[in-house]
Amino acid sequence: MTGLLAVAHGTLLQGWGAVAAAVDPSPSPSSIEIPPEDQTSPGLLGFLVTFAAAAAVILLGFSMVRHLRVVDRNARRLREAEEGTSAGAAGTSAGAAGTSAATPSGTASPSARADDDPDATGAPGATPPRGPA
């Protein structure tokens, strides 16, 4: 079966080669005119489309970075909350004191900011609403 397939394939290739050799190119290569350079450039429209695509990619990049920062911040808050509940579940007084927002020196830790208040935003890790309330 493989030999028959190879013979048929070879016959087809020879037939197409004969057809391609018999066909003359239409138009002949000598009659091709090269257009002037100002007609072959993309022009103003091509520049504007390329500029708009580049601007869109840049804006999407900034948006992606902003959203990734929000996701990272929410994951960090969730991790801190889980660590706080695991320390509180141990039942030690040191674990309960470790969940407070103040450090031993009495200053607030960097993770305890005003926007971390779950009552102000509705849920822990939620992004606060923008604009006038």
Q: Which two tokens stand for residue 30?
A: 């000598």
pTM metric for this prediction:
0.39
CA distance linking residue 99 with residue 81, whole number of Å:
9
CA distance linking residue 43 with residue 39, whole number of Å:
8
CA distance linking residue 10 with residue 15, whole number of Å:
9
- The neighbour count for residue 95, using CB atoms within 10 Å, is 16
AA identity, residue 123: A
User: What are the pLDDT digits (tens) for 66-116?
Assistant: 999 999 999 999 999 999 888 877 665 554 444 444 445 544 555 555 455
Dihedral over alpha carbons 53, 58, 59, 60 (to 10 degrees): 90
Considering only the C-alpha atoms of the chain, give the largest distance between any 2 of them, rounded to a whole number of Å: 96
User: What are the pLDDT digits (tens) for 27-56?
Assistant: 566 677 777 777 778 889 999 999 999 999
AA identity, residue 44: L
